[in-house]
Amino acid sequence: MEKQISVLSMKTHQCKNCQGSFPISQIFNCVQCSVMICGSCGLRKHRTHTLNDLLVEEQIKTMMEETRNFFSSEHDYYQNEFKSQCETELRRMFSGISSLQLEIANKLSQMTENDLERAKSEVKRLKGLYGEMRLFYGKYEAQNKMHWDYLQVI
């Protein structure tokens, strides 16, 4: 940020009243008139107006941009890390569910009346796994939305 401040202080801006060129440190933004003016014109012609220091405004913009970039890169890193972990977990869940489905299908094809209660238990377990997966995915979506909402704020 210090490098950007020194670059900003070397820039010259034109006063919209006297047309003189001044370094940014001597330029102000008149809020009421929405023009950039020098300090002298600020005292003479805009005395009762609100004047914002243009250098400070630029520093604030730079700091906001740096902050936004920082959080954006952090968000991207953690989102990708979280996404990778979620995808791994979802693949593990799908693999387990697929295995269980095959196991149930095999058992159902060989089932007798005596095995009915056991089969119901397996189906219940399968439904529970799907429920866990839905819950996990819901948490992932909520976390992802929270990250994007946070980025919109900054």
Write out the DSSP string of 76-145. HHHHHHHHHHHHHHHHHHHHHHHHHHHHHHHHHHT--GGGHHHHHHHHHHHHHHHHHHHHHHHHHHHHHH
Residue 62 domain-assigned (yes or no): no
Residue 56 domain-assigned (yes or no): no
In angstroms, the CA 126 to CA 109 distance is: 17
Residue 91 domain-assigned (yes or no): yes
Residue 93 domain-assigned (yes or no): yes
Q: Are 136 and 93 in contact (CB under 8 A)?
A: yes
pTM tops 0.85, yes or no:
no
Question: 34: domain range?
Answer: 2-49
Residue 12 domain-assigned (yes or no): yes
Residue 61 domain-assigned (yes or no): no
Residue 39 domain-assigned (yes or no): yes
In angstroms, the CA 51 to CA 12 distance is: 18
154 residues of the chain, pLDDT tens digit each:
455 445 555 678 999 999 999 998 899 989 999 999 999 999 899 989 988 888 888 888 888 888 777 777 777 776 777 777 778 887 888 788 778 778 877 776 676 666 677 777 877 887 888 888 888 888 888 877 776 776 676 5
Instruction: Please count the structural domains in the chain.
Output: 2
Same domain, 84 and 132: yes
